[in-house]
Each structure stands twice: as structure tokens, then as C-alpha cells.
A and B are shown apart, each in its own frame.
Chain A
Amino acid sequence: MKNESEYSGILIFAEQQEGKIHPISFELLGKGRELADRLGEELSAVLLGHNMKDVAKELIYHGADKVYLFDHPSLRDFDIVLYKENIVDLVKEIKPKFFLVGATHLGRSLAPRVAAALETGLTADCIDLQLDEKGDLIQIRPAFTGNILAHIKTRTRPVMTTIRYKIFEKMKPDTSRKGEIIERKVKLIENTGTRVLRKERERTVNISDAEIIVSGGRGLKKPEDFKLLRELAELLGGVVGSSRPLVDQGWISKDHQVGFSGNTVKPKLYIACGISGSPQHLAGMRDSKIIVAINIDPSAPIFRVADYGIVGDLYEIVPQLIKEIKKRKFGDD
């Protein structure tokens, strides 16, 4: 085993696509700052991209002491091998104790390669991090469809973990914060084996970022009835979500899927219409601030996590809701 005492500080991977930092990176800095302060150690970020100097400052404003910047045209798009090589070299040199990566699809493609190259342990999709009495990291992740929480420790360094989006709070950005941006020489590789040809399509909805979600489940009778939910969602300035069965039946795209195997959401308001509340669905939405359940079955598990409920047929309740909200918003009757 490597000498543990050589390893110090926390490193986070700052994810960018098209020059824009993914908000998960700020959340990692928020949690990383808290852990670093408790350990009395440094918090750094590694950022790869092109023309990223201004963007790098944002990471300092959000809590980083140091930003290791790899800036080169060939890093503009995500190139798995090129990203991995540069990150692995950096980690070997600066030897962070913990290395946190967002559990986005990009992060979950990159982190395992980095971990395997470093021959270190990697824990997937954590929802909490704690320090034990010796300052070792306890990584907490849901397992068994979210029915249990596993506490995991890693006996190699760095401890690597991917963190689920929308779990940790980011710091309020402070533009007076001082930090160091360290430009690194980029290691280039002639032929990495993969090449981004173009962006194929934007996702249809970014449900993880939505503040209000109106979701449908098996209480819906046909695909067209999502229209009803969409009307309510748009009225509230929100988006439409779905439980897994309807996505599996092809009624709505996977971008809308809420649940353990879909997207984890944490909106201000979640309205579940005709969703009974399988463990797999609840695991993806139970941390929403206000949960409203509309279901015909009073014994449906969804009512156990809901704050407010109406027992009834969504085909009667939702149109009434739409009417009532319109009345109050626009005063018409």
C-alpha cells in the first residue's frame, strides 16, 4: 500500500461542456470546502477545456484554493483518453487524499478510467460523505434500489468517489475570494481512439434542474394524456416528469424519467399524478421540498412521502387544479 501520509488535500473534477461549468462542480466544491476546512487541508479543482481562464475564476469564487487548468483546443470536447491521461499525471504529482467527481454520465465514464489507471478504489454515486475520527472518508451510497445505505471506505489513495447531482449545497459565490490558477502543460496524444464528430441533439428537458415537476404514472390511460400534465406544469412554470413504466412503454422520453434508474430530482414542488410510489420512484424524488400526491388509491405508498394529497381520479382533479390556478393567476373564471 502507498504511504498514506504523502497524500493531502481534496481535489474535485470541474466538469465543463461547451465552456460552461456543470453545476455539480460547484456542489462538489461546496462539500469539498467543508471537508477541507475540517481537515485543515487544501481544496483544489482540475479543469480541462479551451479558453477557460475566466471560467476557472468561478471555481475560486465557489471555494477552490487552487485550480489546475489544462487549456488547449484539443481539450474543448470531451476526449476520454486525453482527459484521463492529463488527470492521472496531475493526481500522481499532487497526491490528493480524496478525489471527487460528479456522477454525471461524463463523470461516470471518466472516473472509472482514472481510478483503474491509479489502481485505486472508486465508489459510485454517493449521496453523503462523512469523516471518521481518523479523518478517513466514509462514502455513503444507496444500494439495493435505494432500500439500503452502504457505508464504504477505501484503503488506497486517493479515495475516489462519484457524487450524485443535487445532493450537496454549493457555496454562495464570493468574487473577493482569492485563489491560485495554475496552468499546466497539456500532454497531447496523437490518436486517442475516440473523436467527437458533432453534437447530435440537445436533451429535451433538464429535469434535474427543474424547480417544479408534474409527474405522471400508471394512472395515466394513454400517452396523449401527458398533455394534461404538461398544461399544469407550464402553468406553474415547471416541466413534466414520468415514472419508469411509462418511459419503458415509450410514452415519453427517458429525459423525463424520475427515479432510482432515471434522474434524481429535488425540486421545490413535485406533483405526482397517478403514481403509486414504487421504491424505485420514491428514491428519485423523496427529497423534493413539497410533495403533492394525487391518486385514486388512498393506500398508495406515495402518500407516505407526500406533504399534501388529494385522493381522487387525476382526470377530475388535474383539470380542476388547472382551472383554479388560472383563476388566481389571471383572475378569469
Chain B
Amino acid sequence: MNEMHIIVLIKEVPDMNKVKFDAERGVIDRSSAPGEINPFDLNALETALQIKEKLGGKITVISMGPPQAERSLRDALARGADRAILLTDKRMAGADTLATSYTLASAVKKVGNFDLIICGEKTVDGDTGQVGPEVAELLKIPHVSYVSEIREVSRDRLIVVSELGDAYLIELKLPGLITVTKDINEPRLPTFKDKMRARKAVIDKWTAEDLSDVADINKFGFSGSPTMVVKVIIPQERVKSCQIFKGENAVKDLVDIFEKKGVLK
């Protein structure tokens, strides 16, 4: 029997606490903050590492992004992934979630022979959470979203807890895809030695052309994206005049308001 093969899809995102918004161009100014692995994707990678520790096998990480996203893939290798592939090409730029999913799904097809794909529940910059389920659909495999716990794992199925408002216990037959929440685990940190090793590792770089045997490259990037941002608005901060209560009657004054507004029933 072949070994278990897990694919983790990751995205490099800017540190959202530091990044600035370019109001004139209406885009995130990615040069204003260093890139890092999307925090939710670290939970996806950690999930893969824990399954590998249990069942053996190998982990491939795939990312689509500009050439500098290589550093996030090195980080993933340092944390324990076995192989890293960067999909990078100007023709992939400007992709919405459908074009992104199509490109990632094409790369998965080219890699072939996988048992499980793991994604973070969403990215902190795009915040859609759509790419995981769209990739699953394009690959015609089942998926479970918002997985907060893996109860059982074997070569041909997972039993997971999925947060759908209430939490449900769901069986997923493999090959399949899951998206995981932040609660699923605590991602490990790479050691210094691991980082040094990853610095020398080889990262496969695939262009649009490299995927042309499995994909229609016109469906990549901006040209393959059905949605487009037509306008960006920076909302004027609503000026609310806050009434501040002061002194020893402050609490009484506030409760007066509660009474007046019918809050105290």
C-alpha cells in the first residue's frame, strides 16, 4: 500500500496588524508589511503534521503567489512539510476565488495521488473562506468545512467535528478535503536547525505553462475571474456624540437611560 499523501494549500498574507491600505489605488500595500503564512493555514499544516506522525506518509504544500511567497513555503518546510510547490506567474495575478481555486485544483491534479487536502478556514486578508470548498468541487471530492477536531483518522476515512452553528460529528471518505478552524490545534514552531535546513531546500516553481497539460490557462488570473472590484470606499467614521456620565451620579444617570429606553423590563 502506498503511503498517505496529504496536500496543504497555503497563502502568504501580509501581517494584518502592520499592513497599510493604499487608499489611492484601492489595494492593500503589500510592501508595507512583511509576508507570512496565513495564520489559519498554520493550523492546516499542523493538522497534516499530526496525521503524518500517526500514520506516516508525506506532506506537500502548494501556494499560489508572487515569487517572494517562496519564504512562506520555506517556513512550511521548516515546520515539517516534505515538498513545496509555488505556482507563480503574472498570468495568475488578479485572481478571484474561482480562478484561484481553479489554479490550485489544477496543480493538485498535476501532483496527483493524494488522500487528503487540508486548508485553513479562511485567509486573514481575503476573508472569504471560499477557496477550500471550491477546490473540492473542482476536484469532485467531498469536503467538510470548519473542522475543529479530528476524532479518528485512517487511510480511507476521517471522523471530524464540524462547526455548523451547532457542532456535528461527520464521517468523510477519502480522498477528501477539510478546512480547519483555529481551535483545532496549536501550530508548532520550527527549530533553528529546521529553519537552516529549509533555507537550502528546493522549492518547485510552476508557471501557467507548466499547468497547461491539466488546465485551460485562460481560466487563471484576472481573465478567469468572474468577479471584479469596481469601487473601494473608505467609510467616513460615523460621528457619534458620546454622552459621558461623570461624578457620583454617573451610574444612576446611565440606568435612567436604560429605563427611558425600555431596557429594564
Given contacts A148-B235, A152-B228, A199-B168, 11 further A-B contacts (CB under 8 A): A78-B168, A108-B129, A108-B133, A120-B98, A150-B229, A150-B233, A152-B230, A155-B228, A292-B254, A293-B242, A307-B240
Contacts of B166 in A (CB 8 A): 17, 199-203
Contact of B167 among A152, A199, A329 (CB under 8 A): A199
> What is the bound-complex CA distance between A281 and B239, given in angstroms?
17
> What is the bound-complex CA distance between A304 and B244, given in angstroms?
11
Nearest CB in chain A to that of B235: its residue: A149
A306 near B232: Cβ-Cβ < 8 Å = no
Q: A29-87: which residues lie under 8 A (CB-CB) from chain B? A: 77-78, 80-81, 84
Contact residues of B: prevailing secondary structure? mixed
B255 near A328: Cβ-Cβ < 8 Å = yes
8 A-B pairs with the lowest CB-CB distances in the bound complex, closest first: A193-B142, A121-B226, A124-B128, A109-B145, A121-B227, A116-B137, A112-B133, A151-B231
B226 near A307: Cβ-Cβ < 8 Å = no
B130 near A122: Cβ-Cβ < 8 Å = yes
Interface residues as binary, A268-310 with B (CB distance below 8 Å gives 1, 0 otherwise) = 1100000000000000001000101100001000011111111
Nearest CB in chain A to that of B244: its residue: A309
Interface residues as binary, A194-205 with B (CB distance below 8 Å gives 1, 0 otherwise) = 111111111100
B173 near A193: Cβ-Cβ < 8 Å = yes
In the complex where A113-B133, A254-B183, A325-B264 touch, is A17 in contact with B250 (Cβ < 8 A)?
Answer: no
Contact residues of A: prevailing secondary structure? mixed
> What is the bound-complex CA distance between A185 and B146, given in angstroms?
30
Q: Does A242 have its Cβ within 8 Å of any Cβ on chain B? A: no
In the complex where A147-B21, A150-B232, A151-B233 touch, is A124 in contact with B130 (Cβ < 8 A)?
Answer: yes
Q: B165-215: which residues lie under 8 A (CB-CB) from chain A? A: 165-173, 176, 183
B159 near A197: Cβ-Cβ < 8 Å = yes
Among A106, A113, A309, residue most surrounded by chain B Cβ atoms (within 10 Å): A113
Q: Which residues of A contact B (CB under 8 A)?
A: 17, 22, 77-78, 80-81, 84, 104-106, 108-113, 115-117, 119-125, 138, 143-145, 147-156, 191-203, 212, 236-237, 254, 260-261, 268-269, 286, 290, 292-293, 298, 303-312, 317, 320-321, 324-325, 328-329
Q: Give 24 pairs: A residue, B residue, CB < 8 Å, sorted on A.
A: A104-B164, A105-B164, A108-B145, A112-B101, A112-B130, A116-B134, A116-B137, A117-B137, A120-B226, A122-B227, A124-B97, A124-B128, A143-B127, A144-B125, A149-B234, A149-B235, A154-B227, A194-B142, A195-B170, A196-B170, A269-B263, A308-B254, A312-B250, A329-B264
Among B132, B163, B166, B225, residue most surrounded by chain A Cβ atoms (within 10 Å): B166
